[in-house]
Every structure is written in structure tokens, then in C-alpha cells.
Structure 1
């Protein structure tokens, strides 16, 4: 793989404040100040869906294999993308794009680095990194509220309907999965209230008489979440792939709900460099990402044993572990209203700051629309 994996250093408080001070603070969709010509893209006639379509069975947008075709930049551009991990399955399109030379086809020299979201946000805002593979978590939204010029520009995935990654509860005597009173119970999770998972957590809890404000959270390490629920240390747990497989089918536990079907909750975030200073490079990056999805992740990619072997090697993950859960539904589009639903969950959890941020200051779909040739 051409891409190098490193860990960035922490940003000082001084540079954080400097970054906020020079950021934009308006409601103009960043990166769209200058009109851009959008041309039809061969092989992408089905490369766009209406953001207002929130149907759980919505088919994600797809172009033909190998589309959109590369449009190499006139001059090679070096870009840095950071992610909290490079071994999780949802990061696979970036890792595969690097391995298969999809970035290079656009004349991009992309370096992938590992850095947690809170540390990366100010670096992205001040232009020290070009893009972030993450989600509009509370750290991102609070940063935008503070003046950071950051936009969510592309989605990542939604779960397969067969997936049971999400909220599990240990049933008490006489309880059934149809209705489990969650108010007052404890939940173990490795993900804090400021994560995008707060949104599906809140939705699921409210279906069972709870809510983020009506349960007790206990943040645990990834290896301790399931153990705590089994031992009675917590009543419920948010179990990720493939951990939920260990309780699936056990009548003592019930799956209550997970991430909404058909609705990505994360993906690529751009800062001012790709939103404003070099939009061509931003579109090229998205073109390479989208082409990778269409070429390697268009359907049930885990049915391809050879590709699964390759994924296992690239992600440094056991093949059996990858195979134990359904393929993710890779999806570069952003649904309408997702950013509002996320912010409501943050407010319910008591972790957000300032007024709600409109889509115009937090989401920019124009770059992926240009990459697939969608004209408004």
C-alpha cells in the first residue's frame, strides 16, 4: 500500500484558539461561493438519490463499476486524511482506494493517518490536514458553532437489515423484547454521549420508555462492555460488530435497535483547504472514493472470498471475524435532516453547546453531486 499510517501529535490550546479566530462564521454553504460547472458523468445515471428519501429499504446510489472515471489533476496534489482507526470495516473504502491506486489515478498523493476526532477537528479547521474520516460528532458541531469552517461532505455506510449491532439488554423475569422498560437502567458503552450513536440510542430508548436523560451511562473499554452486561454490572450495552454475535439467539438477551437503516451517520469531513482553496482536489478525492465504492463495495462484497482475503490483510483483521457479520451498505450520500436529528440527541444528552446549526453551515452535498454529474 502506498499510504503510510502514522499518529499525529496533539494540538496546543493556543493553535486551537487561533484556528477558531480565523474561521468563517456565516450561513453560506462553504465551497460553493464560486459557481462550478457540473457535467454529466458517464456510468453515473443512477449516481444520486433524493436526500429527502428516508425509506429504510432505499437502495443507495450507484454508478457503473469503474465510474466516475478519473479526471487527473494537472498538478499532483498531496492530501492528508485522518481517521480514528484504519482497521475498522467502515474505513475499508479509503484503505482499498489507496491500495488499488484510485487516488493516484486522480493525481492525488494521499496519506492516511490515525488521530482521534477531538484532536483532529482543530487541525482540519486550520488547514493542517485536508480531510477527516469521522462523523459530525458533538466535538465537530461544537467546533462549527465556535467558528470552524468544516462541512460533512460525504456519507460512509448504513447497516444491513440483518445486522444486530446496537442496543442489547439483559431481560428480567417476565420481560420480552417487545417492550423492555429502559427508564432508570444502566447502559455500558465504549462510545460516549457525544458520539453520533447518541441519535439511534435515543431513538431506541424512547421506544422503550427511556431516553438519554433517563438512563445511567457507564463508559467501558471495548473488551469490558459485554462482560459487564453478562455479569450484571450494567443492564444493557451497545454492542458493535462482531461482539453482538456472542449473545444473538440467547433468550436471556434482547436486541432493541441499532443505527437507522439507509441513513449514514458519518463519512468525510472537509476543512477550508478542500472546501474553498482547492475545490478541484476535493472533488477529485470524492471521485476516487465513490469509484472505489462502485467498483469494490457495490453489493454484498463479502461473498467474494478473494476480496475478503484482501480486506483481511489490509484491515489487519481476521477473515472469520469479517465474515461473521453482514456486509455494510457503503453509501456516499447524506440524508436530509440527519444533522438535525444528531443535534437533538446531543441536546437531549446535555453535551452540545450553543444554538442548533443549520445544514447550510454543516453539510455540503455539492462536491459529491459534481463528482457523479448531478445537476440541481
Structure 2
């Protein structure tokens, strides 16, 4: 059961294009007339313990240290009125859900006056509800579906990152080795790729980068859609030539001469995280800041470093996620990172447009990204 949870986590990074019904909805309240307007700037004051809680978004160094506050910071600032928030995610057992599920379990949201209801829901369904204001927060990524929704006039922003992979992690693109070739000489032309969804997913961004390193374009390969359990199974039985394997599935292929690891997610660059819709972007920004403040405090208190070095916490986290401690320990700890790097949405949109899942022109970053919520939570002016 624990392994299935990690497999289905891929669906969160591989959601398909926004349902057509979202763009053709007759609900006039589902679109925001202010989606392209700038919200008035709110005063930002320094936050104790968060003096080192900001890094330059332009810093794309793979060795960049993520921003951090002191443990227990930023301190809670309870809302004047208790507020219920509905949060959705494609999986509730994936390791990257650790911070939000820990925040619920430890009462960090409650300290802010928030009652957080976390629900499992496919991202394609959830983004429609987010756009209509029926969901407050979506844990997903700047997928093609999000970009298309914003192009259709819905107010949705990527407001916080989630994590980057540790250098020792081999989450990424794995391929079968043919004819005794080494990994550097793997020929990917006409290769069959196993995928959960395909070109609408943000995960195609690192896949495209790895393909380029092997002088191959996405148009040179074919994508075969499989379910989570079917991807590694097809790679084992020869039904596909390559696949993107998540934690801890790649451990089954490590050290075996017939498989090779070709590359993974760019180091230091989160590709997913929290998406806000009109409810928190426009109607209740205080609750939007409070949500991230609680989440950031949880990161600083429990996930600031290599949290897998603490056996007691690994045991506790496994229980929270419904996983097994030995499964969590089998792969490196994720580097939790709430910040969003500059240009990520530019790079993924280029890929979407080339893959013909998003129409040109690309949207400017400020139509898709809003760093002001976490900036206010840690007390750092964005400009």
C-alpha cells in the first residue's frame, strides 16, 4: 500500500489539460474580472527569526541553500475570525505531502485560526473548482491546465514552491540499456516512453532537458500512457524503453546493468507547490498569508534539513503519511523549498507551446506567479 502511494504521486506532476468545461462554463462568477490587474501592495514588516528567509529568485545555482527561518518561526498571527479552507492534492500519501500533513497534525494551521480540510482529488477536477472558488488551495504545479485556465481569464497563481530533489536522488529518467551500451551512449531516437499523462505535465520540462543531453527531441520519441503501477512494470518487461521513475520506485532499477539513470529534475528548482484561486488571491488575502505562514513554520521546525536523520520523526512522518519508515529511509530526504525560481514558468510554457498543448504566446511570469504571500509571511519586501 505504501508503494502505491508513492506511485500515484506522479499524477500530481502529470495532470492533463484543464477540462474543456472550465473554459465554456456559463457560471459568470467563475471568471475574475481582476485576474489581470495588480493587487494593491500590502505593508510588509520584518519577522523575528526570518532574517535569512529569502533568496534571489534569479539565483538558479544547483547548490543554492533554500531560505530558512529559525525553528518555530514565523510566529502565528491568528486571524480575527476562524476560517475554513479546502485544500486538494492528487495524493495524500506522497512524501512531498509531509509538510502540509504535518502542519495539520501538529496544529500549526489551527494556531493561525485556520481549519484546513485536505482532500484527495485529481488535479484536472480540482483546478476547475479552484477557478470557480469552490476550492481554496490546490497542491499541484504550473501544468498546461493551469496555463490554459489563466489564458481563459481565470485568476489562478502559483504562490509557493514545494521541494527540490537531493543530489543523491535518482528520481528521473531511466532507460533500458541495449546492446551493451553505456548510459552515455544510449540511443533514445524512436524510444517508447511510459508516462502517466504526457506532454501536458510539468515533468516534461526535465524530460526535455535530459533528452536534449542525448541529442533527442520530444518529437523523436513516442509516449505511451500507463497507470502508475504499469510504468515500472512495462520498463521491466520491455514494453517501453524509458520512463520517469519517482521515489522510491527507482530503487528497484538501481545497480542493475540493464538499466541506466539518465538524469532528473533540475537541482534547486521546485516544479510544483501551492496554487491559489480567487478566494485567497482576492477575497481573503489574510487567510492566504496565514496558510503559508503555518506551512513555512512547519518546514522550519520539522523539515529544515535532512529530516530523515531523526528516527523518531521518520517514524512519526511515516504514520502521518500512512507509509513505512523503511520506505521513507530508502531514498534521500527531499529539500523542502517554499520559494519559486525566476523563469520556471517561462521555461515550462516554451515546452507546452512546442508540444502544442498550450497556444502561443506565452504568458508573462506575473500572470502565473505571485511571491507576495510567502514574502509577507517571512517579512521580506518583494521589491
Structures share fold, TM-score greater than 0.5: yes
Deviations 1:11-31 (A, max 9, x none): 9948844268632375434xx
- Counterpart contact for 2:30–2:131, Cα < 8 Å: no
Residues 161 and 261 of structure 1 are in contact (CA less than 8 Å); yes or no, is this contact kept in structure 2?
yes
Partners in 2 of 1:246 and 1:35 — Cα distance?
A: 50
Q: Which residue of 2 aligns with 1:88?
A: 94
1:22 is aligned, of 31, 36, 40, to: 31
- CA deviations on 1:69-100 (whole Å, 9 max, x unpaired) are 00111111111111111110111111000000
Deviations 1:199-219 (A, max 9, x none): 001110111121221101011
- Distance in 2, Cα, partners of 1:175 & 1:373: 53
Partner of 2:157: 151
1:231 counterpart residue number:
237
CA offsets 1:243-284 (integer angstroms, 9 cap, x no match): 100111112111011111100001000011111111111101
1:122 deviates by 1.7
Q: Which runs of 5+ in 2 are unaligned?
A: 1-18
TM-score (norm 1): 0.93
Residue 202 (structure 1) aligned to one of 182, 198, 208: 208
Is the contact made by 1:65 and 1:295 (CA closer than 8 Å) also made in structure 2? Answer: yes
Instruction: Tell me the secondary structure at the aligned position of residue 293 of structure 2.
Output: helix
Matches within 5 A, 1:134-283: 134-283=140-289
2:122 maps to which residue? 116
- Check the 8 A contact 2:281/2:288 in 1, yes or no: yes
- Per-residue deviation at 1:34? 1.9
2-side partners of 1:12 and 1:251: how far apart?
45
- 1:171: Cα distance to partner? 0.9
The correspondence for 1:321, drawn from 324, 327, 349, is: 327
CA contact (8 A) 2:163 2:334 kept: yes
Of the candidates 296, 300, 304, which is equivalent to residue 290 of structure 1?
296
Change (3 A) 1:19 1:183: farther
Cα distance in 1, alignment partners of residues 53 and 200 from structure 2: 32
TM-superposed CA distance for 1:165, in Å, is 0.7
Mapping of 1:304-343 within 5 angstroms? 304-343=310-349
Report SS of the residue matched to 2:133.
Answer: coil
Residue 58 (structure 1) aligned to one of 54, 64, 70: 64
| 2:110 is equivalent to residue 104 of structure 1 | yes
Structure 1 runs (4+) deviating above 3 angstroms are 11-17, 24-29
**Residue 51 (structure 1) shift:** 0.2
Shift of 1:45: 0.7
1:339 aligned counterpart, secondary structure: helix
Distance 1:246 1:105 in 2: 41
- 2:73 counterpart (54, 67, 76): 67
The Cα shift of 1:149 comes to 0.3
SS in 2 for 1:341: helix
Unaligned runs of 5+ in 1: 1-10
Structural RMSD (CA): 1.7
1:349 shift after superposition = 2.3
Structure 1 residues 126 and 118, CA, compared in 2 at 3 Å: closer, same or farther?
same
CA distance in 2, matches of 1:12, 1:155: 27
The one of 46, 49, 56 equivalent to 1:43 is 49
Deviations along 1:176-230, whole A, 9 cap, x unmatched? 1123221211111224221110100111011112122110101112222122122
